[in-house]
Amino acid sequence: MLSISTVIILIIGGLIAGILNGIVGMAVLTLYPILLSIGVSPIMANVTATISIIFSGCTSVLSSAKEIKSYRSQTIIITVLSVIGCVAGTFVLINSSNAQFKAVVPFIIMLAGIMMLVPKKKQPTENRFMRGIQYLFLPMIGLYNGYFGAGSGILETAVLSRIVHQPYYVYNAIRNVLSLASNIISAVIFTLLLPVDWIVIIPLAIGLVVGGYLGPIIVKVIPTKIMEICVGTFAIGLACYLFITTY
């Protein structure tokens, strides 16, 4: 049984994670240390967080429905490519050790931060080869998402900012869809093959449902440039911190 204080921590943590998940997809990064702090092992913490944030993903997609409807075809293509990689990444995780599990994270997040901060052309020219390369990144992101997930939202956001030439809240809405689809796939496989701390999911879900709906609403009132600078700067700072603590 969970103590009252632990339940409160999980609800508040879920709320914060849900908001961040709807804004940039950092729910696992938020929930992972919280779960570790209450005694959940690293692999189980990642599995439990991945399953939990489905609640946030559902409400984030609901909150982003207008943007998703306007870019339905592109959303479907992006989501399918990401899910293909996610399935592969999930099986990589199942056969990995905890040490392998943590070592790659700082480098992935650093790459995402740099991509967010590098200026984009105001009027991108159509280059089918480069566009094809950009789309090839999607299954690779999916693989990482299925493998660990922590920081994958930042990486998804960075790549989508190059593919979807629209304001931040638009490509963030698409990211919410592909993140939800990937998390559902991972959750199904995890549930069948790995241990899950089901007890902590209940209080987490309460906060995640509310936070997930609020995130996309908040994004719509913040200018795109400010969002990109904030996300990119945070990603680089987080990558440095994780590198120091890991190595």
Question: Quick one: tokens of 204?
Answer: 């987490």
Model pTM? Answer: 0.82
C-alpha count within 13 angstroms, C-beta hemisphere, residue 226: 7
pLDDT at 125: 54
Q: Contact 72/174 with Cβ under 8 angstroms?
A: no
Which contiguous run of DSSP H or E holds residue 120? none
pLDDT at 183: 83
* Residue the block writes with tokens 């919280």: 34
Question: Quick one: tokens of 39?
Answer: 């005694």
Q: Contact 154/111 with Cβ under 8 angstroms?
A: no
Name the residue type at position 218.
I
* Residue the block writes with tokens 């979807």: 164
- Segment-wise mean pLDDT, segments of 10 residues, the chain, 247 residues: 89 93 82 87 84 93 92 90 82 64 73 79 60 77 70 81 88 91 84 87 94 94 89 84 78
pLDDT at 102: 64
